[in-house]
Structure 1
């Protein structure tokens, strides 16, 4: 059954606007009486379509869904700005795996230079990718996607998270294998985890030192060196296994 994230919803009715109206009427060819899932503020309801106009679909709530498909902890993925469409891949797959937020940042070794003038269209594209992936994977919430931050802004942004880790390839080379596991064992339901992943060239030693000074825990992601687009998915998979399958 199709799932839509709506902008307006009460306890009894959902109002759907924009591209989703076109999707419901032209792509799915739905009509009055058809049922859909509507998501609003992290809640999901089974709804029946009651009215269709050119620019709006109204749907009455049949019942609110009690079960949640969200990870029991909030996970933010902070990615050093990578080349090409790698960040789009991270956002799409990371959304499927349960990330709550994506924060790109300009790292010392980021090859891509962020263009503020063209940047808003890119952020809008990232938001659309997150929305579509959330619908596909039956999420109750769309992850937040920010515009790229400076490294200094990143440090400030991370301050509200319960635990903070940075994946550092030098730790993998040294054989470090327990820090991420230790952090996961300390996390409790409802708490949050901020994960920093470097760009293609990795993080500099100075950047890692600054992160550690700001209460980040440096860790490896196993003995193998992962690509910048693979590392976030490793962490999210580990979180999902630990909190959703192993208990």
Structure 2
């Protein structure tokens, strides 16, 4: 069954009204017709609907059932990623969305090479959010992860530290990620470096804010590999895989 994400304006009582590009996609690309079923998602709630009426640019759907999305993890994982070079951020967003991350926050650490100006950063955020939306649709998510940034290191640490458990991935040692106790946590933040990792001063700041240093083993992972692996491991520990 096709799935679409909607905003609050689309909800009209016991009906969902789709306009614009999604309406055109439903009618022309998917060639759907009255009586066909569509699932819509908003903020972790799934709405099962039946198409009642269609025009050239609007689709009217009757809600037949609504329930919390079964595909959303119980653990809300916030991934804090130091900004990598080139288009690596796009791969990170796509794969970590598929794996269940609730939020992906980019920040600048001391060793970041990529440092876009404000105008470029805003363009990136718009594109990144679209990538998250497409990945959420493809993977059957009930919610689109929020993409935030680009924060300073101190801003990221302050935000990251308010989670039930905060993990700081550090190549120079720490607790094994597989041993992290997240069983009672509802929210988890994990901070990952860009090319070159973190320096000692950054590790000390994160730990002073309450983060637990995490070690990922004897092999050094690329900055685009690390967040994907970490997200998968955390979701597995949380019983989501």
Instruction: Indicate the TM-score class for this superposition, using the shorter chain for normalisation.
Output: over 0.9
Distance (whole Å) between structure 2 residues aligned to residue 40 and residue 245 of structure 1: 21
Is the contact between residue 14 and residue 62 of structure 2 (CA under 8 Å) also seen in structure 1?
yes
Structure 1 equivalent of residue 141 of structure 2: 139
Structure 2 equivalent of residue 198 of structure 1: 193
Distance (whole Å) between structure 2 residues aligned to residue 17 and residue 207 of structure 1: 47
Alpha carbon RMSD of aligned pairs, Å? 1.8
Q: Please identify, of 79-88 and 149-158, the stretch whose mean Cα deviation from structure 2 is larger.
A: 149-158
Q: Please identify, of 37-46 and 154-163, the stretch whose mean Cα deviation from structure 2 is larger.
A: 154-163
Structure 2 equivalent of residue 225 of structure 1: 220
The alpha-carbon distance between structure 1 residues 125 and 186, as it changes in their structure 2 partners (threshold 3 A), is: closer
Question: Is 1:100 matched up with 2:102?
Answer: yes
1:1-247 to structure 2, matched below 5 A, reads 1-7=1-7, 8-9=10-11, 12-65=14-67, 68-171=70-173, 176-178=174-176, 180-183=177-180, 185-188=181-184, 191-244=186-239
Distance (whole Å) between structure 2 residues aligned to residue 9 and residue 182 of structure 1: 43
Query: How much does 1:14 deviate?
Result: 1.6
Distance (whole Å) between structure 1 residues aligned to residue 105 and residue 142 of structure 2: 20
Query: How much does 1:49 deviate?
Result: 1.3
Query: How much does 1:245 deviate?
Result: 5.7
Distance (whole Å) between structure 1 residues aligned to residue 205 and residue 41 of structure 2: 39
Distance (whole Å) between structure 1 residues aligned to residue 218 and residue 95 of structure 2: 23
Q: Please identify, of 7-16 and 102-111, the stretch whose mean Cα deviation from structure 2 is larger.
A: 7-16
- 1:23-58 alpha-carbon deviations (Å, 9 max, x no partner): 212221212221111102211121111222343322
Q: TM-score if structure 1 supplies the norm length?
A: 0.90
Is the contact between residue 46 and residue 67 of structure 2 (CA under 8 Å) also seen in structure 1?
yes
Query: How much does 1:111 deviate?
Result: 0.6
Is the contact between residue 81 and residue 105 of structure 2 (CA under 8 Å) also seen in structure 1?
yes
> 3-state SS of the aligned residue for 2:229?
helix
Is the contact between residue 80 and residue 160 of structure 2 (CA under 8 Å) also seen in structure 1?
no
Aligned residues: 239
Distance (whole Å) between structure 2 residues aligned to residue 244 and residue 17 of structure 1: 38
Distance (whole Å) between structure 2 residues aligned to residue 150 and residue 144 of structure 1: 18
